[in-house]
Amino acid sequence: MDGDLKPLNLANSSMADTVARSREFVRVAPSRAKTARWLIIVGTLLGLLLAGLYGFNRYREQAIANFFASNKPPPAQIAAVTATSESVPRFATGIGSLAAVHQVTITPEIGGRVTAILFTPGATVNAGDPLVQLNDAPERGDLANYEAQARMAAVTLARNTQLAARQVASRETVDQNQSQLDQARAQVLKTQAIIAQKLVRAPFKGRLGVRQVEVGQYLNPGAAIVTLSDLKHLYVNFTLPSTMRPQIALEQKVNVTADAFPGRRFEATITTIEPQIRADTRTIAVQATLQNPDEALLPGMYINAAVVLPAEPDRVVLPETAVDYTLYGDSVYVVREDGKTADGKPILKATRTPVKTGPRWDGKVAILEGLKPGDQVVAAGQIKLQSGAQVIVTGNPPPQPPANPTPN
């Protein structure tokens, strides 16, 4: 009987599994459909969100572009100059120093004790002015003795000359008296010369330096007393490359500048050209004479010398402030007309233009290439410009270099 029930149980079990699977399928199918529906909804929302963000960014970019297109910066205000054509001065430049035409250290010719100092240090003296008195009392005593001998010799000579005329005295005696008189007079002259040497005088007009002696000091011959310099006339000693020799000659003008006097220029004239070239430097020594009426320059100063050479042919010239000097080359901003406004006024734009510069002098610079006479060039305000920027030319003149710049 048990064997008969087993097939029925297996049949019932299979049917139960089928029913369970059917119920499970019924539960799973709606769940999957619901998930797919939610995925579609979320995907749609994300798509709409991304599309909105993209559209917003496009709208923002277009709004920014329209804003900047309709709000251009105002034209930059600049000062401009017109390029002109003029001759360019040329110079042969060198570095040198100044020396006094007349300069000496005052020294005594003979020794003696200083009894008086007759000058003030730093004062200006004339030729022959007394400076120092040495003790000359012994020499003055000798002078009185020799003068007495000379007077006695003169009296003796006159007496014997009369006697010799009457044949009372011999001619030999007269000659001896004459010799004695001549010797006495010679001693007088010698003593007077020694006394004159004891009074030290200025040999020429000039300015004295620092006093180097004291009253009571004994001076040997050649001892320094004070320096004397003629500051009205100075030598300008400088050198030039030997290749410049064909271009320099006597009587050429030389512009002299010194760091002690920035902005000031002195004029000298070439007076000497060394007739040989220095073997070590291959340079030629040149000496010019300079008038220094106000005694501003002093011997020993370093100077810059520029020999004036014949000028070059006409070239385009601009103020130095108009050129923008950079490591990548020199350039200027050229102002040109680019259409007109609605009311008929010209639109001006500045365009960066590379140029080749030449010599510079007195705040000017020669333009060798890149410009032509008549071009309008920005002279001030380049720092706020870019190539192609719109500009307005003001009536203000370009900046000028100071006439007498002050050193930092």
Q: Which range, of 105-114, 156-165, 225-234, 388-397, averages the lowest pLDDT?
A: 388-397
pLDDT band at 389 (very low <50, low <70, confident <90, very high): confident
Q: Report which of residues 403 and 294 the model is more confident about.
A: 294
Are 382 and 324 in contact, with CB atoms under 8 Å apart?
yes
CA of 64: how far to CAs of 70, 75, 354, 389, in Å?
10, 21, 35, 21
Backbone angles phi, psi at 167, to 5 degrees: 65, 25
Alpha-carbon span 236 to 50, nearest angstrom: 85
Backbone angles phi, psi at 19, to 5 degrees: -65, -40
Average pLDDT over residues 60-87: 78
Determine the pLDDT at residue 48: 85
For residues 393, 394, 397, 402, the Cα torsion angle rounded to the nearest 10 degrees is -100
Q: Interior CA angle at 219 toward 215 and 225, to 5°?
A: 70
Q: Is 95 helix (H, G, I), strand (E, B) or coil?
A: strand
Q: Report which of residues 326 and 73 the model is more confident about.
A: 326
Strand order, beta sheet including 130-134: 199-201, 130-134, 112-117, 218-219
Average pLDDT over residues 268-278: 94
Q: Which range, of 48-52, 105-109, 245-249, 380-384, averages the lowest pLDDT?
A: 380-384
pLDDT band at 405 (very low <50, low <70, confident <90, very high): very low
Average pLDDT over residues 90-106: 92
CB-based contacts of 394: which residues, under 8 Å, 6+ apart? 77, 78, 79
Q: Is the pLDDT of residue 270 over 90?
A: yes
Q: What is the DSSP string of 108-159?
A: -SS-EEEEEE---TT-EE-TT-EEEEE--HHHHHHHHHHHHHHHHHHHHHHH
Alpha-carbon span 47 to 348, nearest angstrom: 51
- List the domain boundaries for the chain: 76-87+313-393, 92-97+224-311, 108-219
Q: What is the DSSP string of 43-75?
A: HHHHHHHHHHHHHHHHHHHHHHHHHHHHSPPPP
Q: Interior CA angle at 164 toward 161 and 165, to 5°?
A: 90
pLDDT band at 341 (very low <50, low <70, confident <90, very high): confident
Considering only CA atoms, which of 216, 198, 235, 240 is closest in space to residue 113? Answer: 216
What six digits make up the tokens of 306? 């520029």
Considering only CA atoms, which of 228, 232, 200 is closest in space to residue 104? Answer: 228
Phi-psi region of 222 (alpha: psi -120 to 50; beta: other; left: phi over 0): left
pLDDT band at 162 (very low <50, low <70, confident <90, very high): confident
Q: Is the pLDDT of residue 71 over 70?
A: no
Average pLDDT, the chain: 85
Determine the pLDDT at residue 65: 77
Alpha-carbon span 322 to 324, nearest angstrom: 7
CB-based contacts of 205: which residues, under 8 Å, 6+ apart? 124, 125, 126, 127, 230
Based on DSSP, count helices (H) and strands (E) in the chain, helices before strands: 3, 20
Average pLDDT over residues 167-181: 85
Q: Is 231 helix (H, G, I), strand (E, B) or coil?
A: strand
User: Under CATH, which architecture does the 76-87+313-393 domain have?
Assistant: Beta Barrel (2.40)
Give residue-wise pLDDT tens across range 115-154.
Answer: 999 999 999 999 999 999 999 999 999 999 999 999 998 9
Determine the pLDDT at residue 141: 93
* pLDDT > 90 in the chain, percent: 45
Instruction: Output the pTM of the full model.
Output: 0.63
Determine the pLDDT at residue 340: 77
Determine the pLDDT at residue 11: 47
Are 342 and 380 in contact, with CB atoms under 8 Å apart?
no
Average pLDDT over residues 226-235: 94
* Fold category of 92-97+224-311 in CATH: Elongation Factor Tu (Ef-tu); domain 3 (2.40.30)
Considering only CA atoms, which of 270, 276, 278, 273 is closest in space to residue 305? Answer: 270
pLDDT band at 274 (very low <50, low <70, confident <90, very high): very high
| Other CB atoms within 10 Å distance of the CB of residue 311 | 12
User: Which secondary-structure segment (H or E) carries 374?
Assistant: none
